[in-house]
A and B are shown apart, each in its own frame.
Chain A
Amino acid sequence: MKRKLHLYFSIKSNDMNGKALLVGFLVCFTSVVWSQTPQVSPELKQKVQVAASKLTTTETHAMDPVAVNATLVWSADKTQVAVVMKGAIEVGWHIYAYVPETEPYIATDLRLELPKGVSALGDWVLPTSKPYENGIYVYEDEVLFVQYCTVDTTIGNVSIKSGLYYQTCDIHKCFPPTTKSIELKLNN
């Protein structure tokens, strides 16, 4: 958005008064945008890293090769919360990060149900994937998904539902897609 505004400024501002006007507009607009899209606090990001390293999942096995767990991590001032979701994938198995339309597999989809007063802050932070056959990208081993949210201080005792819809395959078998969800209590 800012980039587009700068472009407009450089093309249209051909006199000083106009420039001053546009600078004023730019400052106002940027501050409005800034106030509408709060940034994730660095302190929360650090806490997420620590929480992610401690987050465990249940054991995986050949009949259920993907285990999912999630937790909430709060910012110190309780205005932001991070949904931290970990997926453990059995060795030799993968889930799909991206599947072209010409391939039969199912791409992983992240599910999030937020109560009133909680809003997503940007998109999910995705783990790195690896290229696979025919333009497919896969996740292997352990994956971490993080969704930062802003929280209205007036929310009560509500829950966030976070989940992973995925299909998992190894060289010999693909399971039908399934969803694993976790309900997380928001005790603000």
Chain B
Amino acid sequence: MKNKFIYSFLVAICLSFGAFAQEKQNISVLYVGYSADKPMPENLEATSIAGGMTPVRFKAEYGKRMPAFKQLLERYFTKVTLVDPRDYNEEMSANVDVTIFDEAPTPIKARVIHNDPETGEFVSMEAAKYVSDEFNHAALFIGHTSSVIGSSLGSKLDWYCLCLDRHAHHIKTDHAIFNGPFKTSITLKDMETPSGVLGAFDGADVPKKIPMWEVDTEGYMDGNGFRVGMVARGWGFEDSPNSEIISSGVCTKQKTAVALGRHGNFFLWGFAGSPEYMTAEAKKVFANAIVYTNTHKNDQLIVRKYNERIATKTYLDELAYYTTQASYNSHVKFYEEYNKSNEKRKVAVEKMKAEGKELSQMDKIILNSKPQEAGTREAYLAKNIGRNAWSKITGIDTIAVRKYLKDNRPYFFSEPDGFYDLVVDEDAKSLQLANTDITLLDTAITLLEKGEEVEKARRILLRYTLENFTSPTAWRTWFNKNKSKLFFSEVGGFVWYINDATANPKGRPRNEKEIASLLLN
């Protein structure tokens, strides 16, 4: 009898703890998504509007996402506000704990491309703005909104690929979002590894089947025009504080693609399904992600990634992979498979044509296609290695390329606006100091203090910091004060930053032309 009482008491305690854990969180949430009360947007071809959903499906689903999110959010949070993106303003985000962007607000400034006034050549691109540069409120971005809105802010939640389907993999299951406050288990099932993962330079060690977690019950790969999810670039994602990759997901890109991740107080929920299509587990994890974003609401972006195609040193590994026979064999194999499959389809269409059957647009394209040419290994190397400026030194000799990449790895850097373009910093190399080694800054300041190799020293400091002091003393004072807090970010422009969002100058990393100009003064 006594044991029975104790047992019942314990059960009651457990149940009340369980119930407590499921209680609503005292967090105010603003949902930004299309309302059925407003007319449907017109340009359904624009990704910024439809997120890759086909116009037919978009029309069929219009107005359904907001009520689905309302129901989910009101279940887990005390205060929920809903707004159509066309009625949104930033003040609304200032008045809540977390904003959920399911759609992007009306743009406030179009994209601007800057060309060289003399040559007309492309110089840089200014992303379209959907919020002001001052936007710094905690936000969770669903699918395409992460990059559409975040690009002008320098968010690392960039546009790698709008190609995320409905399963997650390479998941950090011990992360806070999988562990509460809303309790759920995560069901993992072994599924076939996506070909994009296996075929990538870093995919050789990935098994043919990997554990996956079902997030949405439908995805675009089902072929019914479903909204497409977004993955951000993984390389360099975690090279600064307050940045973390939580999970990748099934897409056409490699294993490091980020489907769930955080940069400061911005959270990427790359999966595109509304709660109507989320699994029961995913609904709770989604709610946990909002709670988690709220716990980081004061984490501002320290590093800003303004150039989504800036290469990091990981790119050197990819280039080295292209020099291998295995890489070329894989390329040839893929082309052979494409051609084999195409030939089969061509025969079938030719038969249809001979029978007088009506041909679809696709049939005509198949008939009018020609095989892919894999080309020689030399041509493959010329295409993948030859486009790099340094290949003038190495040629396409695979041994020479690999040696060059290995020997110079410490000194490679990218200009802030470079597109997958790493070059060797001869200044750092001459000092035999890696640009990722803080000793390089110290040494450059020492050179300034001694009055030796002054131009080189200034070049190094202007290249790898955002500062521009006029005296060696000022450089030394800044360095001594901050050296324990300095960290190096490649995606932030190959620059040393102070680990304090308010301590870094607002300027952007400088390109070589700007550095040369400053050296003249």
Contacts and interface: CB of A to CB of B under 8 A. Distances in A.
Contacts of B366: 98, 137
Contact of A174 (B162, B334, B369): B162
B369 A129 contact: yes
Contacts, number: 97
A64 B195 CA distance: 28
A98 to B, nearest CB: 5
B45 A177 contact: yes
Contacts of B365: 97-98, 126, 129, 137
B473 interface: no
A174 B342 contact: no
B133 interface: no
A126 B342 contact: no
B398 to A, nearest CB: 19
B334 A131 contact: no
A104 interface: yes
B92 interface: no
Interface string B154-174: 000001111100000000000
Contact of B252 (A91, A100, A104): A104
B309 A173 contact: yes
Contacts of B221: 102-103
Contacts of B387: 91-92
A133 interface: yes
B108 interface: no
Interface in B382-398: 383, 387
Interface in A100-150: 100-105, 126-135, 137
Given A104-B252, A174-B162, A61 B122 contact: yes
B163 A131 contact: no
Interface residues of A, number: 34
B364 interface: yes
A133 B225 CA distance: 19
A42 B420 CA distance: 47
A146 to B, nearest CB: 13
A187 B387 CA distance: 44
Contact of A63 (B113, B225, B228, B370): B113
A12 interface: no
Contacts of B122: 61-64
Contacts of B48: 176
Contacts of B159: 173-174, 176
A3 interface: yes
B341 interface: yes
Interface string B334-366: 100011011000000000000010000110111
Interface of B: 45-48, 52, 113, 120-122, 125, 159-163, 195, 220-225, 228, 252, 308-309, 334, 338-339, 341-342, 356, 361-362, 364-366, 368-372, 383, 387, 419-420
